Amino acid sequence: MNLDYNEAKTLLKSLMGQKDKFPEDVTIIICPSTPYLSAFSEVLKDQGWVQLGAQNNYFEDSGAHTGEVSPTQLKSLGVSFCIVGHSERRNDFNEDYGILSKKVKALLKHGIRPVFCCGEQLQVRDSNVYKEFVIKQIEDSLFKFSAEEIQKIVIAYEPIWAIGTGKTASAEEAQEIHQLIRNRIASQYDENTANQVSILYGGSCNSDNAGELFSQKDIDGGLIGGASLEAESFVAIANAY
C-alpha cells in the first residue's frame, strides 16, 4: 500500500525509461496496488520484457463479493502472476492454508501463475522449529496440486523478521530454507519438478545484498518490496541476478 496514483505512475515511467538497463535473460514482473492495475496494464501491454502481476485475488470467478478482485478480472487486465499468502495477508486478514490453497487453485484455473509466499516469524525462527514451520506451509497449501501445476507456482521464501525491517537473512540462512523446499518438492513429486519451480527470496533484499543472495544455488530470484520503489535500485537488483 505504498505510493499514491501519481507517484506510482511516475515510478512506472521511470522504470520504462530504463528498459535498456534491464538484463534480457531475467524475468521482470511488476505487481502494483490493485487500483493501478488497469493503468499499468495499458502501459505494459506492448512491452514484452516486463510482465504484470497482482498482489492479491479472491478465489471465486465472479459474483457478490464486494471489494474483492477475481482471477477472471485480473486475467482480463493481462495479469500473468499474482502474489498469494504474503505474510501481511496471512496476519492482517487471517488468510489460512485452506483459503490460500483455494486462491492458488483459482489462479491456476485461469492461467495466472501464483507467487506463493511462505516464511516464519522471529519467535518461530528463535524456537528452532522454523524449518518444519515453513515446509508445513507449503505442504498444507500446495501439495494437493499435480506436478504439472506445481511447476507453474513460484514460491517466495520471505522470513517475516526480514520483511521491511532492513534485516536480511544471510545468503546461507536463505539457501538452507530454499534447498529444503526444493528437496521436499522433489520427495513429494520428483527431481525434475523440483528443479522447474522458481524459489525467490524476499525480505529486505536490496542492491547491496542481492548479488550474494542470488548466487546461491537454490535462490532463483527475488521478491522486492521497499527497494523496488526506486527505479535505480530495482534495475541494480535485476542486474545482480
> Can you give the binding site for ligand PGA, defined by CB under 6 A?
158, 163-164, 202-205, 223-227
- Our measurement of the distance from residue 231's CA atom to the centroid of its chain's CA atoms, rounded to an integer in Å, reads 18
**DSSP conformation letters of 134-161:** HHHHHHHHHTTS-HHHHTT-EEEE--GG
Q: How far is the CB of 158 from ligand PGA (least distance, A)?
A: 5
Residue among 32 and 203 whose Cβ is closer to ligand PGA: 203
Distance CA 155, CA 136 (A): 13
Q: Which of 42, 65, 139, 158 is catalytic?
A: 158
> Are the CB atoms for 14 and 234 separated by under 8 Å?
no
Q: How far is the CB of 165 from ligand PGA (least distance, A)?
A: 7
> Are the CB atoms for 163 and 204 separated by under 8 Å?
yes
Cβ-closest residue to ligand PGA? 225
Residue among 72 and 211 whose Cβ is closer to ligand PGA: 211
Q: Which of 86, 95, 120, 178 is catalytic?
A: 86
Instruction: Tell the residue number behind the cell numbers 524459489, with chain if given.
Output: 199
Sign of torsion over alpha carbons 1, 225, 222, 41: positive
**Catalytic site residue 42?**
no
- Provide the grid cell at 158: 520471505
Q: How far is the CB of 206 from ligand PGA (least distance, A)?
A: 7
**Catalytic site residue 86?**
yes
Distance CA 147, CA 241 (A): 27
Q: How far is the CB of 234 from ligand PGA (least distance, A)?
A: 11
Catalytic positions, written as ranges: 86, 158
